[in-house]
Structure 1
Amino acid sequence: MSPRRSELGDALRNWRDRLSPEAVGVSTYGQRRATGLRREELASLSGLSVDYVTRLEQGRSSNPSAQVLTALARSLQLSRDERDHLYVLAGQAPPRSGVIDAHLTPGVQRLLARLEEFPVGVHDPAWNIVAWNPLWEALVGEAAGATVRDRNIAWRHFTGAAGRVVVDADAWIAMEGTIVADLRASRAQYPNDDGLATLIADLRSVSARFDELWQSNEVSTHVAARKSFDHPSVGRITLDCDVLTVHDSDLRIVAYTAEPGSADAQKLDLLRVVGTQRLSG
């Protein structure tokens, strides 16, 4: 076993041991020999097999991909410095300057876990959704079970993908302008990000409307709005949509809220109960 593989395994075990199941929303039953996460729990959170996590910790697997390292860093709630150290131990270069960093800091993960009362999603500067809570998925409906491209807000909008958001003609035009202008600002901020460049090129190829707006050179960022959804269980629901940007990462926390006591707040309460299930009868 190489020293680097041994160090990687030691680091993964230490980070796993320090993280309580409660911190990542894992339910526990009965007595546990250790207070930290089990291998199978880390594997489930990261979308990896238990065997693969075991081989990494035992130094029997080398060269994990950037996707694997990103998933592990997120599941282990590593700081940015720890995330970069994980990359180095795995023989990978940490994300470089000018490239979108979709790393979820521990603080953002705790915020996402605490805001169970409202639908909350986290997007990167290319408007790919990178994390969400259950109520977000219950409201939006297409957060999980699709490819990264299919979950991208810009791609969905300009390719006419089906969704639950309801907007009138004027709001539709304004939304288009905001999305394109926001992507233009991101492209200037992250000139070395191949994924963002490919997304923009593909959008210009498949959507004449996107290409027209792209050539207008308008630059702005999306901040807040009101959005209506046609939900199969609770009907039409209109919510305030606020976008909060995380300092030093440019992640966007998108939160939907309703005025207390309003009909929309009552529908949001109902949505917390029915979740993603349609009401019977």
Structure 2
Amino acid sequence: MYPSSALGEFLRSRRARLRPEDVGLSPGVRHRRVAGLRREELAPLAGVSVGYYTRLEQGQSPNVSDEVLDSLARVLRLDDDEKGHLHRLARVLRSRERVKPERLRPGIRMMVDSFTDVPAVAVGRRGDFLAWNRLAHALLAPHWDFDGDEKPNFVRIDFLETDFSRSLFVDWEQKARDDIAYLEGSLSRFPGDEGLTALIEELTTLSPEFRALWTEHPVSNCASISRDYRHPDVGVMTLTAELLRTPDDEGQGVTVFQAEPGTPSQERLRRLAELVAAAAP
């Protein structure tokens, strides 16, 4: 699946979004065999030959220039996140290095433990919860053992434990798209992570919802997301998740969940913290 086909899959997904009239072309024939722009329609607009663009979609042009990528991004009307993703996918063609095993730095664990009033979790590049505080456990996966050796993976939970995830997230569909965007971003940065590609293959096999959404290749930096959570003990809360990364993160980050001050969500989050504190050993 990755890395050789990644660029082509992404380009085809973005071609499919556009109609000829969106880029100033005549619709042409009434019935088109494929959705969106044809290669022969896109290539001239981007200033490249049809043959070159075809090889690019086939992963056979590892030395594609930034200028060509910028031109394609313009024609395909990519936003900033998608444009950055396109450039990273092109770099994947030039590098097939394997990545080091993912290890949680002690400092990251200490950072997570320092948050006592809000949920906080250290997340790996595959979506694994590498460390979490008790509030994050109570919010995101209370059915898992907090002190267990095995920590959950939020993408697996959302797609394979759907009874739980659909009850937790008011807008499950958007959460699912954000999950896939997270994996897309990780793959473009760590194409040699065999565990990451294995996870995607597993979910593609086991989850029809994942399989359908993956073909759309949603892209987002996932840095700051506001979401509604339906917690069985305190009710619905609107929380903003801020993903904090460091320059040498190896794909890891710390996500902190906060509620807007003075809102019912803040009061419900405070109530959840009280319940967690009361139940702590």
Q: TM-score range by the shorter chain?
A: 0.5 to 0.7
Q: Unaligned 5+ residue runs, structure 2? A: 1-96
Deviations 1:166-188 (A, max 9, x none): 323xxx33332222122122123
SS in 1 for 2:164: coil
Identify the residue that residue 203 of structure 1 maps to in structure 2: 203
Matching of residue 137 in structure 1 with residue 140 in structure 2: no
Decide whether the 8 Å contact of 2:109 with 2:122 is kept in 1.
no
In 2, distance between residues paired with 1:222 and 1:108?
19
Match of 1:271, SS?
helix
Give the C-alpha shift of residue 152 in structure 1. 1.4
Q: Tell which has more relative contact order, 1 or 2 (C-alpha 8 A, sep 6+).
A: 2
Residue 222 (structure 1) aligned with residue 222 (structure 2): yes
Measured in 1, the distance between the counterparts of 2:151 and 2:104 equals 21
Change (3 A) 1:268 1:175: closer
SS at match of 1:151: coil
Q: Is the 8 A contact 1:226 1:241 kept in 2?
A: yes
- Report the AA paired with residue 263 of structure 1: P
Q: Partners in 2 of 1:106 and 1:183 — Cα distance?
A: 24
Instruction: State the percentage of identical aligned residues.
Output: 26
The 5 Å alignment of 1:261-272 reads 261-272=262-273
| TM-score, normalization by structure 2 | 0.55
Instruction: Give the match for residue 61 of structure 1.
Output: none
Change (3 A) 1:149 1:209: farther
Structure 1 CA distance for aligned equivalents of residues 277 and 156 of structure 2:
24
Q: 1:103 to 1:154 in 2, by over 3 A?
A: same
Supply the AA of the counterpart residue of 1:212: A
**How many residues of Structure 1 are paired with residues of Structure 2 in the alignment?**
179
Give the corresponding residue for 1:162.
164
Q: 1:231 to 1:174 in 2, by over 3 A?
A: closer
Query: Against the structure 1 CA distance between its residues 228 and 264, is the aligned structure 2 distance closer, same or farther, given a 3 Å change threshold?
Result: same
Q: Call closer, same or farther: CA 1:211–1:116 in 2, change over 3 Å.
A: same
In the alignment, the residues of structure 1 paired with residue 252 and residue 149 of structure 2 have an alpha-carbon distance, to the nearest angstrom, of 16
- Cα distance change of structure 1 residues 141 and 114 upon mapping to structure 2, 3 Å threshold: same
CA offset at residue 134 of structure 1?
1.4
Q: How far apart are residue 104 of structure 1 and its match?
A: 2.7
Which runs of no fewer than 5 residues in structure 1 stay unpaired? 1-96
The answer to whether the 8 Å contact 1:102/1:130 transfers is: no
Shift in alpha-carbon separation, 1:151–1:111, aligned structure 2, 3 A: same
> What is aligned with 1:260?
261
Classify the secondary structure of the residue corresponding to 1:260.
Answer: coil
Tell me the distance in 1 between the aligned counterparts of 2:163 and 2:103.
Answer: 27
- Length-normalised TM-score, structure 1: 0.55
CA distance in structure 1 between the aligned counterparts of 2:153 and 2:277, rounded to whole angstroms: 20
CA–CA distance in 2 between the matches of 1:138 and 1:217?
A: 31
CA gap 1:117/1:126 in 2 versus in 1, 3 angstroms: same
1:18-167 aligned within 5 A: 98-99=98-99, 101-142=101-142, 144-145=144-145, 151-159=152-160, 160-163=162-165, 165-167=168-170
1:234 aligned residue? 234
Question: Aligned partners of 1:276, 1:107: CA distance in 2, in Å?
Answer: 24
